Chains A and B, each alone.
Chain A
Amino acid sequence: MITRSAHEMSAAMVKGEVTSEQLTQLHLNRISAVDQQVHAFLHVDTEGALAQARAVDAARSSGEKVGPLAGVPLALKDVMVQKGIPTTAGSKILEGWRPPYDSTVVSKLKTAGVVILGKTNMDEFAMGSSTENSAYGPTHNPWDLTRIPGGSGGGSSASLAAFEAPLAIGTDTGGSIRQPAAVTGTVGVKPTYGGVSRYGLIAFSSSLDQAGPCARTVLDAALLHEVIAGHDAHDATSINAPVPEVVKAARSGDVKGMKIGVVKELNGDGYQAGVRSRFEESLELLAKAGAEIVEVSCPNFEYALAAYYLIAPSECSSNLARFDAMRYGIRVGDEGAASAESVMNLTREVGFGREVKRRIILGTYALSSGYFDAYYGSAQKVRTLIMQDFTKAFASADVLVSPTCPTTAFKIGEKANDPLAMYLNDIATIPVNMAGIGGMSLPCGLAPEDGLPVGFQIMAPAMQDQRMYSVGAALEAALLTQWGSPLLSKIPALAGSK
C-alpha cells in the first residue's frame, strides 16, 4: 500500500479498501522502521496525524464530500509553520518553538483533509543543497545512505523515496524542491512565484522563496498543487488570478505540437555524462510523443549564480535579524548583568550554523552603503536580464528544459567544506527563481555510471504551470512504458523494511 501513489491511496479509501487511519498508521510504522537510517523527519506528530485521519474517516463515512487528497498522509518541510507543532527550520535557534499560528499552506492542507505526519529535515533556514547544514544532522539518500538527498528540502524528498509519505511540501529558493527531487528519483514542483502563499513560510529570501508540491508522480504533484495554490490576502506578493489547471494537464499529458526548448547553456560542460545521456533520451521520447524540440539560448544565465548569491544573502541578512532571543526560540547568556545586546549576540552565535552566518555576513556586506549599488543593485540588473532571456526563449518555445542538476547525488561530506562547489549544484535551477517562473523536476532514469537517479527539469512561463504538467506527464508515461515499472521500484530495500 505505501508504495502506491497518493492518487491510488485516495482511490483505495474511496473504495473502502483502507481507512485513512490505517493508511496513516502504515506510514507511521514505516517511519519507525526506517527513519533512523534516513533521518527524513525532525518531528513526527503521531497523535495529531491519527486524529486528523480519524476525522477524515468520520467525515467520509458520514457521507460528507471530501477532497481528492483527503486522508492521504503528507510530510511537511520544517520551514512551514504549523500551529502548536515544533517548527525549527532546521536551526538550533528555533529549538523548542511552537508556532501560535498555521501557515496558509497548512490551513489549506487541513481544510483538504490531508494528514500531516510531521516535519521534515532541511538545511538550516533552507540554505544548502545537501541537508548537511541542518542543526539536527543530515538526511540520507534512500538510494544510497552514504549520499546526500539534496537540499534544502532533502527530508521531504527522502521521505517520498523511502515510502515514509506519498506526498510532501517543499520550498524552493534556488532549487530546494527540484534538486532533492532529482537526486532522490521523485517529482518536485516550484510553482510560479506568488502561485502559493508564503504566509507562514519562514523566510530565507522573500523574493525567491516559493512553496510547492513534492510527490512520486506528476499527477500526485498536480493534485497537491491545486490544494495549496491560490490567492491569499495575507501575502501581498500572492497572485490574484485563477490557479492554472494543473490536474487537468497532468491527466491529459498531451504534448502534441508543443515546442520544447532545450537551453543551450544548461547542458554541456560540467554536466555528468550519465545525466546528459538520460536527458537526451528523454528529449527523444518527447519528440516521439509529438513535441517539437528546439534549441534556445539564454546567454545571461551565466551570471545567475553570482547574482543569486548577492540577492538571497541580502534578503536573508534582514529576514533572519528577528532571531534575537527576545520573543521566541532559544536564549543564551541571559544571566547576571547581561545586556540585551550581549544576549542577542550570544544567542545568534550559538543558534546559527556556519552556512547561515556566512550568508548573513555576505548579505550584510552587500547591502552596506557604498557597496549597495555594486552588489545588490547589479544583481537586480542581472535578474532583469535573466527575465529577458526567458521572455525571448518563451517566444520560440512553450516550455524550456534542462537536466535539473549537473550531477547525481554526491557523497555526504564530499562538498561540505567547499561552499562554491556546493553552490554550483544549483546552476540549472536558480534562473527559474530569479525570474519568478515555474519549474518542475521529474525522474528520467538512472545514470549508467553510478546507478543514481537523474532529474529532468521543465520550466514554464509565469502562471502557465499547467504546461510543465503536460510535458511532465507525457515524459513520465513514455518512461514508464519503457521501464515497465516506476523508477522507485528499483530502489534498494532499506534495512528494517519488509
Chain B
Amino acid sequence: MTLTYEDVIAKYEPVLGLEVHVELNTHSKMFCGCSTDFGGEPNTQTCPVCLGMPGALPVVNEKAIESSILIGLALNCSIAPFSRFSRKNYFYPDMPKNFQISQYDEPICVNGYLDVEIDTEEGIKKFRVEIERVHMEEDTGKSLHVGGATGRIHGADYSLLDYNRAGIPLVEIVTKIVPGTGKYAPEVAKAYVAQLRDILRSLGVSDVRMEQGSLRCDANVSLRLIGAEQLGTRSETKNVNSLRSVERAVRGEMIRHAELLNKGERVVQETRHFQEDTGLTRSGRSKEQAEDYRYFPEPDLVPVAPDAAWIEKLRESLPEHPSLRRARLQEQWAVPDKEMAAMLNADALDIVEETVLLGADPTRARGWWLGEISRIANESGVAIVELAITPKDVAQIVALVAKGDLTDKLARQVVEGVIAGEGTPQQVIDSRGLKVVSDESALMAAIERAIAAQPETAEKIRNGHIPAAGALIGAVMKDTKGQADAARVRELLLAHLGQPNTINP
C-alpha cells in the first residue's frame, strides 16, 4: 500500500543535504589548456595532461580559482587563506589517472549560507540553508557502455570512452544538513537549487544548464520521527537534471523511506539514480562498505593561497545579488507578493525580464508567461523555458494586442500556434488567418443579425438596460468567430441602439 505525502509528514521529519556540482565555464580545463567547449567530436579536446599520460603534470587554472572564490563570496562563505588539492584514488576507465584531483579536507570556501523563500498557503516562508563548503575538482570523462541490459559497465559488450570532459573544472557546493523544513522539504530543495543557479548565472561563472549537465544536483534525504534527535539513514540521489526533478526526487525519497520505516525495515545507505520518466529512484552503489579513496595531498600541486587584496577586489566586483534583483524588479513592475512568489516558483523571472526588456508591458508579459503559457507547460509536464516560445515571440504578441491587431482570444491562439511549432507569431497569424474583423460594415451586418435573433434583448437595451448588451456582443463575437474587437462591437451596438457607451471594458 502506498503512503500519501500527508501520511509521511504527519509522522516524520525530513532532513535534507544537497550537493550541487557546477561545471565552470572557463575557456580551458582545470589543469591543462584544452578547450572546454560542449559537444566536440569525442577525444578531440585532450592532451597528455588530461589523458593522464605518463610524465604529464597538472597546473591549476587561475580563472577556476577566481570563479570558486566568487561563488564562495556570493554564498557568504569565508575564503580559506590556504587550501589544498588532494587525490581521490579509485579505478574507473573514464578517469585517466585513476585518481581525481579534488579538494578534500582543505576546501577553498567554508561556512556560508543561502536564504531561500518559498510560497506556501501560509504565506511566504524563508529558510536559511547553511553551506558547509565550496570546493574545486576535475570532472571525469564520459563512458558509453554498449550492449548489455543496464547501460552499466557490468554486462556491457564494450565501452566507448570520451575524455573531452575529463578535467573540466567543477565546483561542488555542499550544504550542511538542512533540518526544520518539514513538509516543505521538496520545495525548499528546489528553491535552493533555483536560487543557487540564479547566483551562479549572475556571477557568469557557469552556463548552469541542468539539461546539459553543467549543473547537477545530488539530493541527500533522511527521515526521523518527529521530535527525534538522531538522524535517520540517508540516501543520496544522483542525476537530478531539472529543478522540477529536485522536488520530485526529494518527495519520492521521503515516501520511499517512510514506507520502509513503517514496515520496520531499514533504509540502506546508498547512492540512488533518479529516473526522469517515473519520478522514482533506483538503487545504485551501496555505500554500506564505504569505499576507501585513500585521499592524500596532491604532490604535483602547490597549495592555493589567494592574496587577501585579490579576494577583496573580487568581493567588490560581485554583481547584484539575485535576491536584491528580485526586490528591485518586484518594485519596478509593481508585482504583488503572492504573484511574485508564483513567478519565482514557475522560474519565470528571467524570461519575464527578457520579455520586458524587449518592450513588453511588465504586467502583460507576466500575464502571458504565468497564464496561458504556464498552463500549456503544466499540461505537457515541462518547464516554460523548455517550450518553443521565446521572450521575443511574447513581446511581439503583446505589441500586436496593444495595437489592436489581435484580441486576447486571438492572441491565445497565436501563443498555442507558436508553441506547437507553427513558426513566429506573424507566421501563425498568417497561416491560421487570425485577423481582427475591423470591417465596420461586416460588423454592422453581424450586429443586425444579432438584434434580429434577440429582439427582446435589443428592446431592453433601447430602454436603458445597458448590462443586457453582453448577450448581443457575445452573439456578434460568436458570429465573427472571435475575430472582432469586442470593445468596438460594444461601441457600435450601443450607438446603433441609441445608448451612451458608459462602461469602459
Does A199 belong to the interface (CB within 8 Å)? Answer: yes
Instruction: Name 13 A/B residue pairs within 8 A (Cβ), A-sorted.
Output: A99-B55, A100-B48, A101-B56, A198-B55, A207-B299, A236-B301, A315-B296, A317-B294, A321-B97, A321-B98, A322-B97, A322-B98, A339-B153
Does A423 belong to the interface (CB within 8 Å)? Answer: no
Encode B279-295 as 1/0 by CB contact (under 8 A) with A. 00000000000001011
Contact between chains at B55 and A202 (CB < 8 Å): yes
Other-chain contact of A328, B53, B60, B154, B159 (Cβ < 8 Å)? B53
Other-chain contact of B55, A201, A327, A339 (Cβ < 8 Å)? A201
Inter-chain CA distance A364–B299, complex, in Å, is 16
Q: Could you tell me the distance in whole angstroms from the C-beta of B149 to the nearest C-beta in chain A?
A: 14
Within 27-60 of B, Cβ neighbours of A (below 8 Å) are at 48, 51-60
Contact between chains at A367 and B93 (CB < 8 Å): no
Inter-chain CA distance A93–B446, complex, in Å, is 90
Contact between chains at A203 and B48 (CB < 8 Å): no
Q: Could you tell me the distance in whole angstroms from the C-beta of A325 to the nearest C-beta in chain B?
A: 9
Chain A residue nearest to B163 (CB atoms) is A327
| CB-CB under 8 A for A368 and B294, given A237-B300, A322-B98, A340-B159 | yes
Contact between chains at B89 and A99 (CB < 8 Å): no
Other-chain contact of A199, B55, B154, B296, B301 (Cβ < 8 Å)? B55
What residues of chain A lie closer than 8 Å to B54, measured between beta carbons?
81, 87, 89, 94, 97, 99, 202-203, 322-323, 328
Contact between chains at B53 and A100 (CB < 8 Å): yes
Does A2 belong to the interface (CB within 8 Å)? Answer: no
Other-chain contact of A318, B56, B89, B301 (Cβ < 8 Å)? B89
Does B161 belong to the interface (CB within 8 Å)? Answer: yes
Contact between chains at A198 and B57 (CB < 8 Å): yes
Spell out B's residues near A (CB within 8 Å).
48, 51-60, 87, 89, 91, 93, 96-99, 153-154, 159, 161, 292, 294-296, 299-302
Contact between chains at A322 and B96 (CB < 8 Å): yes
What residues of chain A lie closer than 8 Å to B96, measured between beta carbons?
322, 327
Chain B residue nearest to A200 (CB atoms) is B55
Contact between chains at A236 and B302 (CB < 8 Å): yes
Contact between chains at A324 and B55 (CB < 8 Å): no
Contact between chains at A367 and B159 (CB < 8 Å): no
Other-chain contact of A203, B55, B93, B301 (Cβ < 8 Å)? B55
For the A-B complex with A99-B54, A327-B52 known, give 6 more contacts whose Cβ atoms are closer than 8 Å.
A99-B53, A203-B54, A237-B300, A237-B302, A314-B296, A318-B296
Inter-chain CA distance A405–B346, complex, in Å, is 74
| CB-CB under 8 A for A324 and B98, given A198-B57, A235-B57 | yes
Other-chain contact of B93, A236, A326, A369 (Cβ < 8 Å)? A326
Inter-chain CA distance A369–B291, complex, in Å, is 10
What residues of chain A lie closer than 8 Å to B56, measured between beta carbons?
101, 199-200
Spell out A's residues near B (CB within 8 Å).
80-81, 87, 89, 94, 97, 99-101, 103, 198-203, 205-207, 233-237, 314-315, 317-318, 321-324, 326-328, 339-341, 344, 364, 367-369, 372, 376
Other-chain contact of A321, B51, B53, B91 (Cβ < 8 Å)? B91
Inter-chain CA distance A367–B89, complex, in Å, is 10
What residues of chain A lie closer than 8 Å to B53, measured between beta carbons?
81, 99-101, 327-328
Chain B residue nearest to A103 (CB atoms) is B55
Chain A residue nearest to B294 (CB atoms) is A367
Contact between chains at B161 and A326 (CB < 8 Å): yes
| CB-CB under 8 A for A369 and B57, given A318-B87, A322-B96 | no
Contact between chains at A376 and B296 (CB < 8 Å): yes
Contact between chains at B97 and A372 (CB < 8 Å): no
Inter-chain CA distance A315–B97, complex, in Å, is 13
Q: Could you tell me the distance in whole angstroms from the C-beta of B301 to the nearest C-beta in chain A?
A: 5
| CB-CB under 8 A for A315 and B299, given A326-B161, A367-B294, A368-B292 | yes
The list of the 8 closest CB pairs from A to B, nearest first, reads A321-B98, A367-B294, A206-B299, A207-B299, A200-B55, A81-B55, A202-B54, A322-B52
What residues of chain A lie closer than 8 Å to B159, measured between beta carbons?
340
Other-chain contact of A324, B93, B294, B301 (Cβ < 8 Å)? B93
Inter-chain CA distance A99–B52, complex, in Å, is 12
Inter-chain CA distance A292–B302, complex, in Å, is 38
Inter-chain CA distance A252–B161, complex, in Å, is 57
Q: Could you tell me the distance in whole angstroms from the C-beta of A432 to the nearest C-beta in chain B?
A: 17
Inter-chain CA distance A141–B17, complex, in Å, is 63
Q: Could you tell me the distance in whole angstroms from the C-beta of B146 to the nearest C-beta in chain A?
A: 13
Contact between chains at B300 and A318 (CB < 8 Å): no
Chain B residue nearest to A340 (CB atoms) is B93
Q: Could you tell me the distance in whole angstroms from the C-beta of A489 to the nearest C-beta in chain B?
A: 37
